[in-house]
Structure 1
Amino acid sequence: MEHWDVHRPPRAEGKTFLVTGGNAGIGYFVAEQLAGTGATVLLGSRDAGKADVAMASIRSRVPDAKLGHLRLDLSELASIQSTVDTLGFDRLDAVVCNAGVLLENQPRRETAEGHELTFATNHLGHFVLVDQLMPLLEAARAGRVVTTGSFVGKSAQLDLDDLQSERDYQPKRTYARSKQAQMLFAFELDRRLRAAGSTVLSVVDHPGGALDSLTPPRPVHPALGGRKFPAGLLLQGKDAGAWPAVRAVLDPDARGGEMFGPRVFGLRGEPRREPVRGRLADTGLAARLWAASVGLTGAEVTR
């Protein structure tokens, strides 16, 4: 399906999707768009109140939306297994690993378990979550792990000797490295799933340049004033930033190990397949990151 209609994605009645960080930002629009396909969509969020606002907003646009909230804090690795135990489903058709934090203009912070907060939330938490969800994904006819990376993550310089940014903490650099770690994890996951003969696919997406100022208003995202030119020529809103993830979930022709991003310079436009190059194609780097992630979390993900 080289032509993908972002306004008329395939129907998905009977399927269940989990979107981490589904209460705000790009994750909200991923959840809204997936809800419009008839699927059951679970919003993974720490805050029940914010999830309720997001679900009410989705229902105002998709009146018959089938929605639920999963209380999920990816920075608390020890809590993730008990969180998954509350799901109450016998299968899961896809998880969209979207949630993330960028601590701009803040000092380095650690979680209660001693991990740097950005790396723990963006990468390690999803690593553990996918490990816990794998039996439910395997139980689906063709489960998918969709990992939302970032444009900056494609060119970051991940330092395997300083994954926790103890020596070199700069908020934006730490964020970019954590997103590259997510993407490397997703590609390595697919290689391991294929080697194991699994039916689960691991697919990567990134939103390009998605700005708050170009995003249509929602209760979870108030209208913002300000000039939109010339940014609108090169970038897009978070509603459009959700399109690659939605395609990665729904495209029947998607293959494991593929990456979807915006059509125009990888920054804006309808989603298309992108070549996997550079550090993202470094299988040795990905394998070493995998081993380090297992060491930090105890999760195996594939067995």
Structure 2
Amino acid sequence: MPSKSQPQPAHRPPSPPWDVRRLPSAEGKTFLITGGNAGIGYFVAEQLAGTGATVVLGSRDHTKAVAAEGCIRSRVPGARVRHILLDLADLSSLETAVDTLGVGSLDAVVHNAGVALDDPPRRVTKDGHELMFGTNHLGHVALTRWLAPLLAAAPAARVVTVGSFAAKSERLDLADLQSAGGDYRPKRTYGRSKLAQLYFGLDLDRRLRAAGSPVRSLVAHPGGALDSLTPSRPPVHVRTAGARLRGLPAGLLVQGKDAGAWPVVRAVLDPCAAGGGLWGPRAFGLHGEPRSEPVWDHLKDTAVAERLWEVSCELIGAEPGLGFG
């Protein structure tokens, strides 16, 4: 007897190759970028503005935000860009800041803003939290809480958390998340604050899935991104000829902040980018075109992620669901 034919899976055409210079349209969408007035955040904003989306810069400095807006408009004709005052080091101000967005839904937030200290002494936020952990991590956790209704109101919103390659060699000390011990090392504390952000972004996606939410959470890192390799965007960033020449040898291994923005932008826009994914530069995680990369082994430790989540929610005074369910 002839066997019955089995139904064949529907053919799915391959997704087109990603082109960092020809991004898909995001007309009608609204994106919020924290720290969008400088560094990686500025270039994320500039590139997203070129898609036709409305881009909102979250900044604690009105003057710098206005300068960044003008710079983007000068490079992206017709750019829809504005800013809100946003201070992640002041948790009590975030609800009001979100209210000033003036939108009914939000298609993506990029958790990019950060503080990096080079030298002691240890400093704290207005709420008494260590400055880098409190701003880079806790501030974004609290912001997510207030943005939850706007993200849930969008058809397929994304939370994109920007970590750092420096976090790859760090490990969290769950007994001293805020570096209150006597051995305060700012660079280590910075790396751990960015690691906490990555844990948060991945754990958020697991919790969103469990709650049946359509919102997706992804994480990204810029690899090695230097000012000396970053093109000028006066007055936001001015690169001198001398700095450019001094940075050329490093260009074999790392890149400028314009290219450092590429993994973040792809995590926001690529329709094939799945929740819980990690995006970074293609070559050794340091430079090149953006690609999905395996989640680092220590970020797979869900026990650490769960404990960090519990402590973080306690510190910001939020329910564990953060408003998503």
Superposed pair shares fold, TM > 0.5: yes
**TM-score of the superposed pair, with normalisation by structure 2:** 0.92
Separation (CA, whole Å) in 1 of partners of 2:278 and 2:251? 24
Larger Rg over CA atoms: 2
1:271 aligns to what SS in structure 2? strand
Separation (CA, whole Å) in 2 of partners of 1:57 and 1:243? 19
2:247 aligns to what SS in structure 1? coil
Q: Which residue pairs with 2:142 in the alignment?
A: 128
Deviations 1:218-256 (A, max 9, x none): 120111323123200000000000000000000001110
Q: Which residue pairs with 2:229 in the alignment?
A: 214
Separation (CA, whole Å) in 2 of partners of 1:171 and 1:3? 40
Given that 1:155 and 1:279 are in contact with CA atoms closer than 8 Å, whether structure 2 keeps it comes out as no
Deviations 1:82-120 (A, max 9, x none): 111111100000000000010112410011211001111
2:175 paired with 1:156: no
Separation (CA, whole Å) in 1 of partners of 2:169 and 2:206? 21
For 1:33, which of 31, 37, 47 is the aligned residue?
Answer: 47
* CA displacement at 1:10 relative to structure 2: 0.6
2:261 paired with 1:245: no
Q: Which residue pairs with 1:8 in the alignment?
A: 22
* CA displacement at 1:211 relative to structure 2: 0.2
Stretch moving more, 112-121 or 20-29: 112-121
Runs of 4+ in 1 over 6 A off after TM superposition: none
**TM-score of the superposed pair, with normalisation by structure 1:** 0.98
Cα distance change, pair 2–172 in 1 and its aligned pair in 2 (3 A): farther
2:252 paired with 1:233: yes
For 1:59, which of 73, 92, 104 is the aligned residue?
Answer: 73
Deviations 1:152-198 (A, max 9, x none): 11221111111110013211100000000000000000000000000
One-letter code of the match for 1:150?
S
2:309 paired with 1:290: yes
Given that 2:125 and 2:135 are in contact with CA atoms closer than 8 Å, whether structure 1 keeps it comes out as no
Separation (CA, whole Å) in 1 of partners of 2:248 and 2:238? 19
Q: Which structure 2 segments of 5+ residues have no match?
A: 1-14
2:280 aligns to what SS in structure 1? strand
Given that 1:210 and 1:236 are in contact with CA atoms closer than 8 Å, whether structure 2 keeps it comes out as yes
2:48 paired with 1:20: no
Given that 2:116 and 2:190 are in contact with CA atoms closer than 8 Å, whether structure 1 keeps it comes out as yes
Separation (CA, whole Å) in 1 of partners of 2:120 and 2:36? 24
2:312 aligns to what SS in structure 1? helix
Alignment root-mean-square deviation, CA: 1.0
One-letter code of the match for 2:254?
L
1:37 aligns to what SS in structure 2? coil
2:272 paired with 1:257: no
* CA displacement at 1:62 relative to structure 2: 0.4
